[in-house]
Amino acid sequence: MYQKQVELVGMMRRAGLEFLAGTDVGNPYCFPGFSLHDELGLLVQTGLTPIEALQSATINPARFLGKEQEIGTVEEGKIADLVLLDANPLQDISNTQRINAVVVNGRLLDRAALDALLAQAEATANQPPLPDDVNVIDPAADVPRGVAAFSGKWAGQWGQTLDHVLVVEKIDGRNVTFIYSWGVAPASNITRPGVERVTGTVDDGDILRGTLSNGAEVAYKLSQDQQTLAGEYILRGRTTLGSFKRQ
């Protein structure tokens, strides 16, 4: 099937059709920016020249949108949204990935600034996720103070490696509903973030306890000032400690 698609694109190009890159960006796992470099490379593989591939992401969309007087080429008077490269993409289309700097909306982003943005994006992607329906309900007045203090959002790490967010949504007497969320820790073979909603209890020692879907037992104890939680994660006899701050 893929080879047929490659052949079809080559036939379209030979028939004189023009292409617009990026039109499939709404598909799953087709990420804006990163996927464009892959697409330009694939277009060249189908028979387009590097300049034709570049035009599919520059002047062709500008013409299609009726904005070729504003964007699409580097000319005096046009909007100066530019990518500055360290190597010539006409010699090798993969050189579009050798980005030295970007100019966008009149702002210059050098390599250091771009690397900082990538690091920020990576950190955000690795953050423990939370469901859209998070709803923290204030504990009733008759809930013991040591129990009610668990209410709200807490964040920190297990073993100083795995990011974890705890959201205590509802406290009914000593019964508790909380959201258990985790990030990624490749060194511990945890490569995907996740989240689950757990029903737990606060015992007579004012320790919040619950059992996760993988069988792990978690326990949280409040600090004296009620601003920090000390946590234990116990799975198959192994205990990991954590510390979490009120958010």
Residues 14 and 117 in one domain: yes
- Residue 123 has what pLDDT? 75
Type and span of the H or E element at 220: strand 217-222
> In the β-sheet with 107-110, what is the strand arrangement from edge to edge?
82-85, 99-104, 107-110
Q: Cα 83 from chain centroid? A: 23
Residue 179 has pLDDT above 90, yes or no: yes
State how many domains the chain has.
2
- Residue 214 has what pLDDT? 95
- Residue 226 has what pLDDT? 95
Residues 17 and 50 in one domain: yes
Residues 115 and 169 in one domain: no
Residue 78 lies in a domain: yes
pTM of the model: 0.62
Residue 110 has pLDDT above 90, yes or no: yes
Residue 116 lies in a domain: yes
Both tokens of 165, joined, read 């967010």
Please, are residues 188 and 204 in contact by the beta-carbon 8 Å criterion? Answer: no
- Residue 2 has what pLDDT? 79
Residue 139 lies in a domain: no
Please, are residues 39 and 91 in contact by the beta-carbon 8 Å criterion? Answer: no
Residue 180 has pLDDT above 90, yes or no: yes
CATH number of the domain encompassing residue 171:
2.40.128.20
Residues 156 and 193 in one domain: yes
Please report which confidence band the pLDDT of residue 203 belongs to, taking 50, 70 and 90 as the band edges.
Answer: very high
* Mean pLDDT value of segment 71-95: 94
Residue 187 has pLDDT above 80, yes or no: no
Q: Is the dihedral of CA 212, 215, 221, 227 positive or negative?
A: negative
Residue 138 lies in a domain: no
Q: Rounded to the nearest 5°, which phi and psi values hold at 229?
A: -115, 135
Q: Rounded to the nearest 5°, which phi and psi values hold at 120?
A: -65, -40
Residue 160 has pLDDT above 90, yes or no: no
Q: What is the pLDDT of residues 20-44, one digit of tens each?
A: 998 888 888 788 888 999 999 999 9
Give the SS3 label for residue 163: strand
Give the residue from 125, 153, 179 where a domain finishes. 125
DSSP lists the bridge partners of residue 234 as 217, 239
Residues 231 and 159 in one domain: yes
- Residue 169 has what pLDDT? 97
Residue 131 lies in a domain: no
Give the residue from 97, 125, 153 where a domain finishes. 125
Residues 7 and 120 in one domain: yes
Residues 38 and 80 in one domain: yes
DSSP lists the bridge partners of residue 138 as none
Domain, as residue range, for 155:
145-246
Please report which confidence band the pLDDT of residue 190 belongs to, taking 50, 70 and 90 as the band edges.
Answer: confident
* Mean pLDDT value of segment 16-20: 91
Q: At residue 197, what is the residue type?
A: R
Please report which confidence band the pLDDT of residue 133 belongs to, taking 50, 70 and 90 as the band edges.
Answer: very high
Residues 155 and 217 in one domain: yes
Please identify which residue in the block is written with the tokens 């036939």: 11
Residue 133 lies in a domain: no
Give the SS3 label for residue 147: helix
Residues 160 and 234 in one domain: yes
What value does the mean pLDDT of the chain take? 92
Both tokens of 236, joined, read 């198959």
Give the residue from 94, 125, 156 where a domain finishes. 125
